[in-house]
Structure 1
Amino acid sequence: MVAGRDLATLPKAHLHLHFTGSLSVPTLQQLAEARDIELPDQLVDAIALEVPADKRGWFRFQRLYDIARAAVQGEDALRTVVRSAAREDAAEGSRRLELQVDPTSYAPSVGGLQPALEIICDEARVASAETGVQVGIIVAASRIRHPFDARTLARLAARHAGQGPGEVCAFGLNNNEWEGDTAEWDGAFRIARRAGLPGVPHGGELRGPEHLAEVAEHLEPTRIGHGVRAVEDPALLARLVDAGVAFEVCPASNVHLGVYPTLADVPLRPLLDAGAQVALGADDPLLFLSRLVDQYETARSVHGLDDTRLAGLAKASIEASFASDTDKAQWLAEVDDWLVGSAHDGPR
């Protein structure tokens, strides 16, 4: 293992984390017990999910996610998810967390879409004050629902738009990349942009660069969720880099969803060598059993990045966040402080 400074104290921003997927196994078990839900062994056996990168593999992933989501119902559960995510990120040095949620699945248990989002945003403000991690919310539509539903979510997100704690900072599109015609979601993203909400759709993970090009063309992203398959088309990668599109790279997720066979195969260095702005993310720690610091440890021990380059990744994550310029400047200075500290400060 490459020695270096304590990665848990490295100031950073966490820009790719899903709502229910952010939970730890013990917290999910507590929520399931409260609802008298019996969880399958696959969710509690401390063995990370591994599936092939095809529709069948995605179905297995989504089935487990849906079972977990059934335990996240009611106001107390929604608040628990936000609070737990903020606490986990505080322990890993995060200064900013942008937590992604499709409120549709939680709405029936609290009286509708608007109450669901209001509860989540309110708890994000509370958790920000409690933990010191500034929690913004990304509202994300789902590819397995109708594009008109996405427009409803975009309008809802617009009413809560802002940069600060507990405000909606961006609009996304997630779930199965094989579903739907990407162009049909352009209306929802136009609504979001008019409200000042940047687009952060998923793309370029399960499907290759041709699909990623469609996402870039029709949804005009500021950041791409994953985007790693862009390395298969250098011209596309160059266009995205030139356009200033940031990449939310989640190494553990890429491996456990079968996109790459090993962590060494995740194209982190090719993206960095191409000049891409990369923000590491954990995606769904509940299923992959790998949190944010683990992604930085992968960058260090598997991809050979030294502390200077790891600090660069942390700075890129902060710069790619949707926090205010004032907050970014403070956190960037804290990264510099980390870098000039002793390589033996704290545990490794």
Structure 2
Amino acid sequence: MRDLAALPKAHLHLHFTGSMRVPTLAALAEERDVRLPRALLDGDPLQLPAGARGWFRFQRLYDAARACVRSEAHLRRIVAEAAQDDAAEGSGRLEMQVDPTSYAPFVGGITPALEIVLDEARAASARTGVEVGVVVAASRMRHPLEARTLARLAARHAGDQPGQVVGFGLSNDERRGDTEAFGPAFAIARRAGLASVPHGGELLGPAHVTEVLDHLGPDRLGHGVRAVEDARVLETVVERGIALEVCPASNVSLGVYAEDHHVPLRRLAEAGVTMALGADDPLLFGSRLVAQYEAARTVHGFDDAALAELARGSIRASVATDETRRRLLAGVDAWLAGPEGQSEQPTSTGSASRVMP
């Protein structure tokens, strides 16, 4: 079998705090003399019940990790290490989600918080060969007017180059907030040329997918797996060319599906959905990008040609430049054309083969 870490790909669903390495979180906690829950440090994936109770525990753990991020140096370290980890896993393009509101009090406001992340994204791109763009994500737990403020900030830094804002998202518990009320924020982002990349269709079913499609006009949908529960909704996703950022490990950890093989990867592929596999929050779910491809191979029976198509889907759904897209797609073709057992990182992904996680 060909080496999945050598398969060029794009990583389009990775949250800022959730991208942290466990040793990094432990070091930040020690620096602040904070005692963290064991579940954040044991490296084991969470196993939570579906519903509000499970989400509450997930959010409590996420907040505990985020509370350790208190300085510019911390922000820069997280971005730098995320790029290193992606490089080691064959990712040539990373689009990382961040809500700068969470870190604003410690660096002088939301503008400095975002600009620090963007500046480090540029530097990390140069060091690793992974092009790092940023998705500014609002939270459903906050007032929609705050989302408009974030959308205006994101618009001022819009672009498709490393260290620029490439998209605008909406995250947190899908069961909270009024989706329609966030529409004006997404309109601001669209006018600036930003991709619309809200979450939807994971904790709630196909009716929520339709709601997000109607009011937020997504180019990509974070998760979206439960669109398979309604043939008409799934057909709409395909017809509109909306890519799904599918994160199999987190679907199981959050109790959306009881077992790995219940995640509907094959059904989505057979329906013609463009998919981009993502790690979501590897700090909590214990599973990084290549592991999602390994699950597609070992759990869902995807052969190398199908895995290559998943990688192509991630690249095509990215906001990378045409040149980068062509380079990475050529790398996928080379990976598939090469012999099984290939372990060398293709040069098409930049200097990733030289970077250790």
Pairing partner for 2:241 from 239, 244, 256: 244
Deviation at 1:24, TM superposition (A): 1.2
> SS of 2:266's equivalent?
helix
Alignment partners' CA distance in 1, 2:343 and 2:196: 38
Deviation at 1:30, TM superposition (A): 1.1
The answer to whether the 8 A contact 2:8-2:311 is kept is yes
Residue of structure 2 in register with 1:326 after alignment = 323
The answer to whether the 8 A contact 2:21-2:283 is kept is yes
Residue of structure 1 in register with 2:165 after alignment = 168
Pairing partner for 2:294 from 273, 293, 297: 297
The answer to whether the 8 A contact 2:120-2:163 is kept is yes
Any residues of structure 2 matched to 1:196-207 within 5 Å, and which? Answer: 196-207=193-204
Deviation at 1:34, TM superposition (A): 1.6
Alignment partners' CA distance in 1, 2:4 and 2:106: 38
Alignment partners' CA distance in 1, 2:258 and 2:29: 33
The answer to whether the 8 A contact 2:43-2:283 is kept is no
Any residues of structure 2 matched to 1:42-57 within 5 Å, and which? Answer: 42-57=39-54
Alignment partners' CA distance in 2, 1:239 and 1:19: 30
Please give the per-residue CA displacement for 1:253-298, whole angstroms capped at 9, x wherever unaligned: 0000000011100000111111000000000000000000000000
Report whether the alignment pairs 1:232 with 2:229. yes
Alignment partners' CA distance in 2, 1:241 and 1:152: 32
Residue of structure 1 in register with 2:130 after alignment = 133
Amino acid at match of 2:235: A
The TM-score with structure 1 as length reference comes to 0.98
Deviation at 1:46, TM superposition (A): 2.2
Report whether the alignment pairs 1:97 with 2:94. yes
Q: How many residue pairs align between the two structures?
A: 344
Alignment partners' CA distance in 1, 2:198 and 2:287: 22
Please give the per-residue CA displacement for 1:121-165, whole angstroms capped at 9, x wherever unaligned: 000000000011000000000000000000000000000000010
Report whether the alignment pairs 1:286 with 2:283. yes
Report whether the alignment pairs 1:257 with 2:288. no
Alignment partners' CA distance in 2, 1:212 and 1:239: 10
Alignment partners' CA distance in 1, 2:207 and 2:316: 28
> SS of 1:173's equivalent?
strand
Alignment partners' CA distance in 2, 1:73 and 1:237: 42
Residue of structure 1 in register with 2:212 after alignment = 215
Residue of structure 1 in register with 2:58 after alignment = 61
Structure 1 vs Structure 2 CA RMSD: 0.8
Residue of structure 1 in register with 2:339 after alignment = 342
Deviation at 1:346, TM superposition (A): 2.2
Alignment partners' CA distance in 2, 1:112 and 1:182: 26
Deviation at 1:9, TM superposition (A): 0.6
Residue ranges of structure 2 left out of the alignment (5+ in a row):
345-357
Amino acid at match of 1:7: L
Alignment partners' CA distance in 2, 1:66 and 1:324: 34
Q: Which runs of 4+ in 1 moved over 4 A?
A: none
Alignment partners' CA distance in 1, 2:53 and 2:98: 24
> SS of 1:29's equivalent?
helix
Identity %: 65
Residue of structure 2 in register with 1:41 after alignment = 38
The TM-score with structure 2 as length reference comes to 0.95
Q: Choose 333-342 or 142-151, whichever is displaced more.
A: 333-342
Residue ranges of structure 1 left out of the alignment (5+ in a row):
none
